[in-house]
Chains A and B, each alone.
Chain A
């Protein structure tokens, strides 16, 4: 039965998270945009305490999450809704929340039960912790098969060599907490994708070093790290999945890629939170100025401003519904690669446009750092880029609707 009403549980959680976002994130949003690379330590500790093992942290854990079993039937939808609220508060801060993050998502998706217990238990106790995922390199982004970081077996260890960039929360995972980073590396370059495996590198591992934290356009409260692996030795069973390394099949690669089916709707939800902040702000500014939106007026009677605003609202809602659908499908156990990419592609571009338009509509105020609009525009853009650029998602959509393999359409 087609239904758009959120269950009472999700509505309650949404309300709680909204209050949290409004009272603790909005007030420090500008501050940690200006003070890039500094830590909102008190806020992190507070978030760690309220969200440890709860639904708030589910969002970026992806499939399976950090908890063993017992997940709510609507976990992914709940996570999309809460992420929207947190990102409405502030997207940079949301990304910096101490939690298993993308690294945890990879462990949950591709790890053995033993690995899930070993790597994820820490997120329920002690001081705030982060986990991260390191895929991108200077010479490759979306083309993950071109990864050059190597993993070579040496007795009871893997020896990793290479450099990873753009690792979200990489510094917090490795240097500021007892976390870990999941590093994608090749065990056999000649095997292409089949040779790519995921390895857990713990904080404090010798041979691993954070060499740079990027200065960025937006989401400045979130750290984006460069990690160098120089003969970095990790235990043999830190390879995600079975230690029996097979390079004849791409099973392992696919397992980790499947993480994206969960994380893309999460990114879309975050984008929507930013876009909603901008749309609400513009609506309130209009209301103060006595501008009302006549939804049912014909084109000849609509002002340009009304038309722009209606476009913003429709695009945002379209993106939100695509995101809810992709999340709902995950909750139903349905395969959602196509729908996840649709949500991500739509949300990334819609919110980029929505926030740009919001700055324009508010004129000199929109461009001023006195308001958050210009910040939201800068923050929004990342959603068109990370977790697969808009173009990569279009490519995935195209392959799915055309029934093409990556060889047939590239």
Chain B
């Protein structure tokens, strides 16, 4: 039966994360962007919310909560609203734990999952994207070739969040039977941390370029199975965060437009501004609902590729348009770094490019 009302539990998660985003994350967003680093204390506080550990089964030290994509997109929108870089940092360990929970053998789960249920934040990550405009997540240029019982990885990866400090790096590569993922770590021989990247946005998030040169991992490091459902989780997760970024920009522009006066009235009282805001609000809601629906399909165990891709692509254009319009509402002030709007525009631009950066 159709309902747009989150359950009590979902609402609790949403409210908890929303207040954390408002009180803890947002106040540090600018400083983190300028300095290129996120205070360790904030990461630790976020860790204590349990966003990573809660879904890990109890036998490995987690809370064993259902890994609901629908609940997750509610939380991810709020985190994205707080700050995208910080949100991606907080959630990075999921890039390992979710695939391992979904596809890992009991041995792989025993080996990996307990590392992410401790008291301290533990970094984990995935190497998905590649520095090539033809990059296609379904057929990465990075290859995995079977050799003497091991797999040998070759290729270059980029946008690997926390790539240098991660306990595990899940490497997406093209093997003999299609797309596969392999568990490595930054000190695996043949895996080289090339450099910390300098990007237009996500400046607070430490992302790295990684080179794989005859990087050898054991056969047991391969996650067996179809990665599509995980890519779809990532797509709806990113879509939800795009909604969060767009909402942040919209709310800021809305409040500014009610304060800022021109020709004797608030500029929000001019249709040129009011209509922009009305369209922004409508598109944000529309995207949120597309995202919810795709997440709901994932939770039902359906192949949600179509819905997840449509939601993510729609979100990527929406957030660009909304953040750009928000900046326009502020005029010259929007271009100044005193306001966060230019940061949201820079971060929002990335969604059309991002793949595999967060898991819902």
Spell out A's residues near B (CB within 8 Å).
Answer: 1-7, 10, 74, 77, 295-301, 310, 313-315, 317-319, 321-322, 324-325, 328-329, 332, 339, 342, 345-346, 391, 394-395, 397-398, 401-402, 404, 408-409
B285 touches A2 (CB 8 A): no
A310 touches B281 (CB 8 A): no
Task: With CB as the reference atom, state the residue of chain A lying closest to B232.
Answer: A296
Question: CA–CA, A346 to B289, complex, Å?
Answer: 13
A5 touches B1 (CB 8 A): yes
Question: CA–CA, A318 to B314, complex, Å?
Answer: 9
A3 touches B3 (CB 8 A): yes
Other A-B contacts than A314-B310, A401-B281, 10 sampled, CB-CB below 8 A, are: A1-B10, A74-B2, A296-B138, A301-B136, A314-B313, A318-B314, A324-B2, A394-B279, A397-B282, A402-B258
Contact of B282 among A5, A297, A299, A342 (CB under 8 A): A342
Interface residue? B335 (CB, 8 A): no
Q: Which residues of B contact A3 (CB under 8 A)?
A: 1-3, 296
Q: Which residues of A contact B293 (CB under 8 A)?
A: 4, 317, 321
Contacts of B266-294 to chain A: CB distance below 8 A:
268-269, 271, 274-275, 277-279, 281-283, 285-287, 289-290, 292-293
Interface residue? B178 (CB, 8 A): no
Q: Which residues of B contact A315 (CB under 8 A)?
A: 314
Interface residue? B180 (CB, 8 A): no
Contact of B281 among A2, A301, A397 (CB under 8 A): A397
B2 touches A77 (CB 8 A): yes
Jot down 12 A-B pairs with beta carbons below 8 A, ordered by A. Answer: A2-B296, A4-B2, A6-B1, A298-B136, A318-B290, A322-B285, A391-B275, A395-B275, A397-B278, A398-B277, A402-B277, A404-B269
Question: CA–CA, A329 to B271, complex, Å?
Answer: 28
Task: With CB as the reference atom, state the residue of chain B lying closest to A299.
Answer: B352
Question: CA–CA, A10 to B314, complex, Å?
Answer: 28
Most buried by A among B4, B70, B268: B4
B4 touches A345 (CB 8 A): no
If over half of A's interface residues share one DSSP class (helix, strand or loop), that class is named, otherwise mixed; here it is: helix
Task: With CB as the reference atom, state the residue of chain A lying closest to B296.
Answer: A4
Q: Which residues of B contact A394 (CB under 8 A)?
A: 274-275, 278-279
Q: Which residues of A contact B306 (CB under 8 A)?
A: 295
Q: Which residues of A contact B268 (CB under 8 A)?
A: 398, 402, 404, 409
Question: CA–CA, A20 to B305, complex, Å?
Answer: 32
Q: Which residues of A contact B278 (CB under 8 A)?
A: 345, 394-395, 397-398, 401
Q: Which residues of B contact A408 (CB under 8 A)?
A: 269
Question: CA–CA, A298 to B307, complex, Å?
Answer: 15
B281 touches A409 (CB 8 A): no
B279 touches A321 (CB 8 A): no
B6 touches A342 (CB 8 A): no
Interface residue? B5 (CB, 8 A): yes
Interface residue? B40 (CB, 8 A): no
Q: Which residues of A contact B290 (CB under 8 A)?
A: 314, 317-318, 321
A328 touches B274 (CB 8 A): no
**In the assembled complex, how far is the CB of residue B219 from the closest CB belonging to chain A, in whole angstroms?**
28
Q: Which residues of B contact A321 (CB under 8 A)?
A: 286, 289-290, 293
B274 touches A409 (CB 8 A): yes
B286 touches A346 (CB 8 A): yes
Task: With CB as the reference atom, state the residue of chain A lying closest to B352.
Answer: A299
Q: Which residues of A contact B70 (CB under 8 A)?
A: 2
Ranked nearest first, the 7 interchain pairs of A and B with the lowest CB-CB distance are A321-B289, A318-B286, A398-B274, A397-B278, A295-B309, A398-B278, A394-B278
Interface residue? B126 (CB, 8 A): no
Task: With CB as the reference atom, state the residue of chain B lying closest to A391.
Answer: B275
